[in-house]
Amino acid sequence: MSDTDFRIEGHAGRITLNRPEALNALTHQQILDIEKHLIAWRDDPAVQLILIDGAGDRAFCAGGDIQKLYDSGRAGDYDYGRQFWADEYRLNALIWNYPKPYVAIMHGFVMGGGVGVSALGSHRVVTDGTQVAMPECAIGLIPDVGGSMLLGCAPGRLGEYLGLTGARMGPADAIHATFADSYVPTEHIEALKMALCVKGPDVIDAFAQTPEQGPLQQAQPQIDEHFGGEYAMDIIRSLEHKNGEWEQATLKMLRRNAPFSIACAVEAIHRARNLNRLEDALKLEYRFTARCMEHGEFLEGVRAAVIDKDRNPQWAVARLEELAQISVSQMLSPLGADELKL
């Protein structure tokens, strides 16, 4: 069986990500294949909705397949990465603007690129064990695949908190943060899929229940207090000034991630909060990813987390205190003729 299983069942065009051994991480070819099928099904009267899920119990999709990105970048080939991200973002925009219901079953790990092919859809279903996160700052990236806008739409300053720390959201917190719409218990998920193929997305309400409140929703006042600063260092200083147990734990999460990425992520989320079109957020994110191998910390972040797995990245900028803010502006500045085209 291929890495992605496409078929029509009832009224649904079904997409199943089928790399469970890799937590269904998205390859470049999968991105192109999904785009091709979505375009074909968009005008097919036999397909009334899209239903996307992932094979296996552990993950819907834990992100993009970054091994080839790393290998090509280490070899000095930055064009492959730019093409990968450009194609991925084009798919993200297609999903966001899709004229038919797009239902995502977000089970297990839903991270990075997995968020882009689920949380940008019209109907997002979480279940028991769902863990949604944007952990890009840990590997020298920033939240992308439209994540800057999703984070900007989260209540209060929850977007900054999630984007900078990479904190995981269970089902209730994913709904609270507006990354998902409905919670359906695991034992009803297969019945929901069958009903969707026959009756369409309106059946979700009949299956949906109210999950128990999550920890991030409870921590919203503290998040809003500390994550409202204009720059990343404002957030660090606020946390250090109060320095309670929650603040110390949050600082530890922040300090693990790439300082340069954190500073750029704050700026990107702030800008995206004022944008009206996902396409503009994707173009902003692409300015960073197009430069991240040559001028950022991506290769070192992937080495430490995925290749050598020593969890000890040697960031070029070791602490936020050492970062010149002008470098953030340069990383997010227009690319001229190389701007993302959607």
Q: Catalytic amino acids?
A: 64, 113, 136, 144
Give the C-alpha separation, 338 to 81, whole Å.
14
Q: CB–CB of 54/110 below 8 Å? A: no
Cβ neighbours of residue 267 under 8 Å, at least 6 residues apart?
231, 328, 329, 332
Give the C-alpha separation, 273 to 20, whole Å.
34
Q: CB–CB of 207/184 below 8 Å? A: yes
Beta strands in 212-255 (DSSP E): none
Alpha helices in 78-219, H assignment, sequence order:
79-96, 113-116, 147-153, 158-165, 171-176, 189-199, 204-207, 215-218
3-state secondary structure 171-209: HHHHHHCCCCCEECCHHHHHHHHHHHHHHCHHHHHHHCE
CA distances (Å), 290 to each of 86, 162, 196, 304, in order?
Answer: 9, 23, 38, 21
Give the C-alpha separation, 222 to 245, whole Å.
12
Give the C-alpha separation, 169 to 231, whole Å.
24
CA distances (Å), 50 to each of 23, 57, 208, 335, in order?
Answer: 21, 21, 19, 34
CA torsion, points 217, 219, 221, 226, in degrees to nearest 10? -130
Q: CB–CB of 70/303 below 8 Å? A: yes
Tokens of residue 144, six digits: 């992308």
Residue labelled with tokens 């600082």: 251
Say whether 74 sits in a helix, a strand or coil.
helix
